[in-house]
Amino acid sequence: MPRDTERYDVNLSILFTELPLLERPAAAAAAGFDAVELWWPWTDTATPPQSDLDALRGALADAGTRLVGLNFYAGALPGPDRGALSIPGHESDRFRANVDVAADFAASVGCTALNALYGNRVDGVAPEAQDALALENLALAARAAHRVGATLLIEALNAPESPRYPLLTAKDAVAVADRVNEATGLGNAAFLLDLYHLSMNGADLPAVIDRYAPRTGHVQIADNPGRGAPGTGALPLDDLVARLRKAGYDGWIGLEYKPGDRPSSEAFGWLAG
């Protein structure tokens, strides 16, 4: 029996990347999805021209796809960067310049989840100084998200692929969300639970789900090893998604996996299984 696809969305920054950005929403729609998510698409600028924002908004509308998740500016991603908000100087300034741009764009397309990647540790800067800057910038982002009715997401990544990223466990990410909520009083910072990243760190995924599902604002999945589609690795993703639903998570589940050596349009056969 086919799986229920109504609450799956496609991450257009890792799937359909063989196509230009503005063609990806239509490709996702053709594959059967009406919801998509994106990393910040303009890695070289936090403040793209209004014409670029308008073009993406138009592509989403023309395809009949809803944007359900968007990253704030995060540097070169994919690439060496894992966020900008805790990095003093130019990158922090870029993040701040991006906050209202991203929030306003999200509001214009009905997107209510904004992911703020923390950023790598930097040589010569005390971790405490980076954490203080991060809290200041995350509070700005939380207020902007609140202004447009969105949740601010805090994500844990994995140590093998992101060794300088300091948030490596659900506990780490939720603690940051707690500090942001305490600083702002808004309560709109939540955990982005990525089963692939947590599995790469050796986490007990059922235990993480049971403990942190109530704090989770968004979920992303990929199989492990390989970061491929469900069924290409060893993770029991059907069971884990069912456990999430049983634990009360009823939000979107982002498909953030690599299509492998095939077109992205052929990477969804598992949904029919």
State the catalytic residues: 155, 256
Between the two ends of the chain, the Cα-to-Cα distance in Å is: 6
- How many helices (H) and strands (E) the chain has is answered by 8, 8
Residues 252/69, Cβ–Cβ less than 8 Å: yes
Beta strand residue intervals within 58-201, DSSP E: 66-71, 113-115, 151-155, 189-194
Cα–Cα distances in Å, from 128 out to 33, 87, 132, 134? 42, 12, 6, 10
Could you give the dihedral angle defined by the CA atoms of residues 164, 260, 239 and 117, in that order, rounded to the nearest 10 degrees?
30
- Lookup result for tokens 């939540």: 190
Nearest CA-CA partner of 264 in 226, 218, 229, 219 = 229
